[in-house]
Structure 1
Amino acid sequence: MVFACGASTMWARIFTPDAEIMALTAAALPILGLCELGNCPQTVACGVVRGTARPTTAANVNLGAFYVVGTPVAVGLAFYVGVGFSGLWIGLLAAQICCAGLMLYVVGTTDWDYQARRAQMLTHSGGPGPTSETIAAIDPSLLLPEGDADDNENNHQNIDNENEPLICISVT
């Protein structure tokens, strides 16, 4: 953020002598710097949510924040309110703030005891494997419908399916 704000008047000079582009860059870089402040907690919280095997939750928060909040704010400010180019960046800032807030809310309201039990069940740690009763106590939605259970002695859902990874890695 400090770099973006400090270099806002000089950055465009490296690439062009056009005064209009330099003015737009000088206006946008401080907003971009603020976006990076929102990006830090958002990225960490998103990693925590994905690390608890809830990539759908993380994806939904990101989609909602950027497409339901950020895009309308950006388009509204840039084209209807008349803020122009900076309005697009303010829309990104609004999306970052919304996403960071929602991600921090999700992490802050996470039941960590439940997540620890769920992690043990998903990794089969702490014993020979979960029984149907253990799975039902942790999360009934993980149970297979009647007649669809595996043929193993514990009668539990095979969560190690190669076609459905539990951990997603994202580079942001």
Structure 2
Amino acid sequence: MGSALETLCGQAYGAKQLHMLGVYLQRSWIILNAMAVLMLPLYLFATPILRLFHQDAEIADLVGRLALYMIPQLFAYAFNFPIQKFLQAQSKVVAMAAMSAVALVFHVALSWVLVGPMRMGLVGLAVALNASWWLVVLGQLVYILMGYCPGAWNGFDCLAFSDLFGFARLSLGSAVMLCLEFWFYMFLIVIVGNLENARVAVAAVSICTNLLGWQIMVFFGFNADISVRVSNELGAGRPCAAKLAILVVLMSSVAIGLAFFALVLAFRDVYGAPFTESPEVVRAVASLGVVFAFSLLLNSVQPVLSGVAVGAGWQWLVAYVNLGCYYLVGIPVGYLIAFPLRGGVQGMWGGMLSGVGLQTLILVAITLRTNWDKEASEAHSRIQKWGGSSSAAAAKVSGD
């Protein structure tokens, strides 16, 4: 839901409406923290929910216990993601990277102490994650409150409580778009948990999705970059610059994706070994090498196209595309191959890739057929609309 700010803050920044960035940030905090409260039952009742989906009882119990300790992180997300988009729209990425580096060092050290010498196990990992995320949130808040975002942060504003319904609708569109993507791979793990020898299958898929998460972080950098560039350029009325940015980022991401593709195929027999001491799991990971490599390749392009969509404000359009491709094509095809055709884990994941491939093709077609001059005009209209009741404030800021 915080990615709504990529559209609004980015386009407002491009249009030099800096005063609105702080208002958008505060509106997002209100909406995301309300949503965090609504999500609490998922954390409180994780074990019975997983058992409802016929997951392994031991896995369900462990996840349920860990989820209770992860509740503070839920609210850290509600503050952190809007701050990230607020800072990214202003290209404050060096400061964000520095804070993240400090938090990473802190997290590694604290995790080692809690899990190693103190032997706190999963509880220790949860405590370390909570502490690290809140360190990032507090560090970013201090950076903003110390005046490093002049014009964009003018203190707490009552305008944050206006236009909440419309703002929530755009936030919800962003959430649906992104959640349908992330949940796609979560569904993979849930469905695989119903296969024979579920523990080995879940372990193998979890290792691959973990590595996929590491790889996709690289392309989330491209996602954030192209989202900010597209929204800034459209807000500033420069559609040609937006198109050039899209082309450059796509070419770069495809080149890196091909490198990851080749690495996985070259080291398919060993890349699972650092994650487990079980030879059976390592062999299961190796058997997923081909489908995993294609997942990495497709996921080098898909985040960039999603970033273009967010920068242009197409969240609801892409949400519908994701729903159709992932859940009406990908999951049914994967389930058909995995269970009736007995294709196992490879069949499940390979079938689901059909949905990812279809979604990528559709987003490429949408991007190529877009009238970017019209998008720039719509960005101007969106800024006027979401400025709404703040027009008087805008006039005052301009006068100052």
Smaller-chain TM-score range?
Answer: 0.5 to 0.7
1:96 corresponds to 2:356: yes
> Shift of the alpha carbon at 1:32?
1.1
Q: What letter corresponds to residue 8 of structure 1 in structure 2? A: R
- RMSD over aligned CA atoms reads 2.0
Partners of 2:275 and 2:323 in 1: how far apart? Answer: 33
* Cα deviation 1:128-156 (Å, max 9, x = unaligned): xxxxxxxxxxxxxxxxxxxxxxxxxxxxx
Partners of 2:271 and 2:352 in 1: how far apart? Answer: 20
* 1:106-145 correspondence runs (5 A): 106-124=366-384
* Higher helix fraction (1 or 2): 2
Partners of 2:354 and 2:278 in 1: how far apart? Answer: 29
On the 8 A contact 1:74/1:87 being kept in 2, the answer is yes
Q: Secondary structure at the match of 1:14?
A: helix
* Cα deviation 1:21-56 (Å, max 9, x = unaligned): 232211112211111211122211111112111110
1:10 corresponds to 2:273: no
> Shift of the alpha carbon at 1:161?
5.8
Relative to structure 1, the CA distance from residue 9 to residue 84 in structure 2 (aligned partners, 3 Å threshold; closer, same or farther) is same
Partners of 1:42 and 1:110 in 2: how far apart? Answer: 17
1:37 corresponds to 2:297: yes
Deviates more, 1:63-72 or 1:6-15: 6-15
* Cα deviation 1:78-97 (Å, max 9, x = unaligned): 11112111012102321221
Partners of 1:6 and 1:62 in 2: how far apart? Answer: 31
Alignment-derived partner of residue 159 in structure 1: 386
1:72 corresponds to 2:347: no
Alignment-derived partner of residue 50 in structure 1: 310
Relative to structure 1, the CA distance from residue 104 to residue 18 in structure 2 (aligned partners, 3 Å threshold; closer, same or farther) is same
Partners of 1:161 and 1:120 in 2: how far apart? Answer: 13
Identity %: 26
Which protein is bigger by CA-based radius of gyration? 1
On the 8 A contact 1:13/1:22 being kept in 2, the answer is yes
Q: TM-score, normalised by structure 2?
A: 0.30
Partners of 2:340 and 2:376 in 1: how far apart? Answer: 48
| 5+ long unaligned stretches in structure 2 | 1-260, 390-400
Partners of 1:32 and 1:61 in 2: how far apart? Answer: 23
Structure with higher RCO (Cα < 8 A, 6+ apart): 2
Alignment-derived partner of residue 135 in structure 1: none
> Shift of the alpha carbon at 1:70?
1.0
Alignment-derived partner of residue 27 in structure 1: 287
Q: TM-score, normalised by structure 1?
A: 0.66
Q: How many residues align?
A: 129
